[in-house]
Amino acid sequence: MVEWDTAIKVFFISIIGTFFSMGTLTLIIKLLGIIFAYYGDEKNGDQE
Amino acid sequence: MESALFSFISQEIGFLHLTPGHVLMWVIASSLIYLAIKKKFEPYLLLPIGFGIIVVNLPLVNLMEGDGILGIIYNIGIGKDLLPLLIFMGVGAMTDFGPLLANPITFIIGAAAQVGIPIIMLVALALGFDLKEAVSIGIIGCADGPIIIYSASKLAPKLLGVIGLAGYSYMALVPLIQPPVMKLLTTSKERRIIMRQKRKVSQTEKILFPLVTTVVIILMVPTSAPIVIMLMVGNLFREANVVDRLHNVAEGALLNLCTIFLGICVGATMNAAVFLRTETLLIFFLGLVNFALCSAFGIVMVKLLNLFRKDKINPLIGSAGVSAVPMAARTSHIVGQQEDSSNWLLMHAMGPNVAGVVASSVIAGIFLSLLL
């Protein structure tokens, strides 16, 4: 029997979960970037 | 005496037990070895995989059963997930997340490039695979070898060899698969977008990144813990700059050792009886579509983001959101250079490329938490 109910649930949770996790990381890293822009240690900075 | 001799010959001489299937598998293995040596397609993997296929298709040799040497390595290394996870530590030790930290929005591009995975999962389900097999086939699209092996060994161990081979084959073929998708979805004007230089990333940020990411991702998706921990501890060794010996072992000897055993064991799962089925062709076909689809979603996400941004992103870097580090980023750069030779996209494309590594760990963790 094809498990469509579970599959649809897995489909949506995997997409939403991935975007939510990566979105949260984006915000945190962005925030860290802003903090380091103010108090950053440019002496150790790497050129990107 | 004669009957004993005949019995010995018929039972113990391998030649008499050869089947066309065995010979066909040797041909396939030889092709992989040829591609590895002559064309340099993922040689570190295709060479041991090819050799593993040859030895497992020798009649009367049960290397994968019971106390067979490959069986022991397989049970510990893949059955207990040791090899893919240790390889992931090596990947972390080799990866510079600087371009991602300099441009955090590329996390979203990495996430978008995973959308093809659940779509192909539904297609595979409709084609008759069960849900766990369908997810394992979908994960081929993330183009991340250790993740593909790790997920398949947990969800669909019977298909591990085919799925692993399909994943690594398409990773080697990134420069052939992605450019047509990139050109189809972008205009010449978009391909010529020159991205501005990103900010400096300090060493402290690079050290904080593996720590923060480990905590955040594991709090959200606890089942991704083994993958994320190994990836990030390897990266911490790299960025800390005080444990050179650990860093060198993680990205050198340990990674190479695990790659040898993983390659041979993946090859050794492909005996003729398992491999020569129509479902193998189907898995390879779905893998190819999946790979193209994941690349396309990365590009489309960049185009969506550009609608809201003054500082435009070149959509070519979107396809690098599939992992395949650094091949996918290099492909974005090469296609960009074909349009404008002064456009250097490589470092910009490394952002979504390494974001893809993190995103594929997350989506694999979500699948495992839902299905195990």
B181 CA: distance to closest CA in chain A (Å): 22
At residue A1 the predicted structure's pLDDT band, cuts being 50, 70 and 90, is low
Residue B38 lies in a domain: no
Average pLDDT over residues B151-160: 92
**Which of A4, A18, A28 lies at the smallest CB-CB distance from B212?**
A28
Residue B46 belongs to some domain of the structure:
no
- SS3 per residue for chain B: CHHHHHHHHHHHCHHHHCCHHHHHHHHHHHHHHHHHHHCCCCHHHHHHHHHHHHHHCCCCCCCCCCCCHHHHHHHHHHCCCHHHHHHHHHHHHHCCCHHHHHCCCHHHHHHHCCCHHHHHHHHHHHCCCCHHHHHHHHHHHHCCHHHHHHHHHHHCHHHHHHHHHHHHHHHHCHHHHHHHHHHHHCCHHHHCCCCCCCCCECHHHHHHHHHHHHHHHHHHCHHHHHHHHHHHHHHHHHHHCCCHHHHHHHHCHHHHHHHHHHHHHHHHCCCHHHHCCHHHHHHHHHHHHHHHHHHHHHHHHHHHHHHCCCCCCCHHHHHHHCCCCCHHHHHHHHHHHHHCCCCCCHHHHHHHHHHHHHHHHHHHHHHHHHHC
Q: Does B359 touch chain A (CB under 8 A)?
A: yes
Give the per-residue pLDDT at B63: 85
Domain presence at residue B106: yes
Range of the domain at B231: 81-371
Q: State whether B131 and A7 contact (CB < 8 Å).
A: yes
Average pLDDT, chain B: 92
Asked whether residue B47 is domain-assigned, the answer is: no
Average pLDDT over residues B161-176: 87
Q: How does residue B64 score in pLDDT terms, banded at 50, 70 and 90?
A: confident
pLDDT of res. B204: 92
Report the sign of the C-alpha dihedral through residues B115, B144, B108, B291, in that order.
Answer: negative
- What's the pLDDT score for residue A48? 44
Residue A47 pLDDT exceeds 70: no
- C-alpha B199/C-alpha B213 separation (Å) is 20
CB pairs under 8 A between A and B: 133
ipTM higher than the 0.95 cut: no
Average pLDDT, stretch B263-280?
89
Q: Is the pLDDT of residue A46 over 80?
A: no
Portion of chain B with pLDDT greater than 70, in percent: 100
B353 in a domain, yes or no?
yes
Q: pLDDT tens across B177-208, in order? A: 999 999 999 999 999 999 988 788 899 999 99
pLDDT at B274: 84
Identify which of B42-51, B75-84, B207-216 has the greatest average pLDDT. B207-216
pTM for the full model? 0.89
The per-residue pLDDT for B304 is 97
Beta bridge partner(s), residue B201: A46
What mean pLDDT do residues B136-145 have? 91
**Residues B216, A18: C-beta atoms closer than 8 Å:** no
Chain B nearest C-alpha distance from A6 (Å): 8
What is the mean predicted confidence (pLDDT) over B286-303?
96
pLDDT of residue B143: 81
Backbone φ, ψ for residue A46 (5° rounding):
-105, 145
Q: Is residue B360 part of a domain?
A: yes
Q: What is the pLDDT of residue B101?
A: 94
Which residues between 215 and 244 in chain B have a beta carbon less than 8 angstroms from any beta carbon of chain A?
Answer: 216-217, 220-221
Q: For residue B181, is it within any domain?
A: yes
Residue B139 lies in a domain: yes
In this prediction, residues B6-31 reach a mean pLDDT of 86
Does the pLDDT at position A41 exceed 90? no
| pLDDT of A40 higher than 70 | no
Answer whether B101 touches A (CB < 8 Å): yes
Question: Is the minimum CB–CB distance between A34 and chain B shorter than 8 Å?
Answer: no
Mean pLDDT for B122-143 is: 94
Chain B contact for A22 (CB, 8 A cutoff): yes
Tens digits of per-residue pLDDT, A12-21?
A: 999 999 999 9
Confidence of residue B60 (pLDDT cuts 50, 70, 90): confident
Number of domains in chain B: 1
Least confident range from B133-147, B160-174, B307-321: namely B160-174
> Under 8 Å CB-to-CB from A45, ≥6 apart: which residues?
B200, B201, B202, B203
CA distance B365 to A14: 9
| Tens-digit pLDDT profile for residues B329-349 | 999 999 999 999 999 999 999
Does the distance separating the beta carbons of B220 and A17 come in below 8 Å? yes
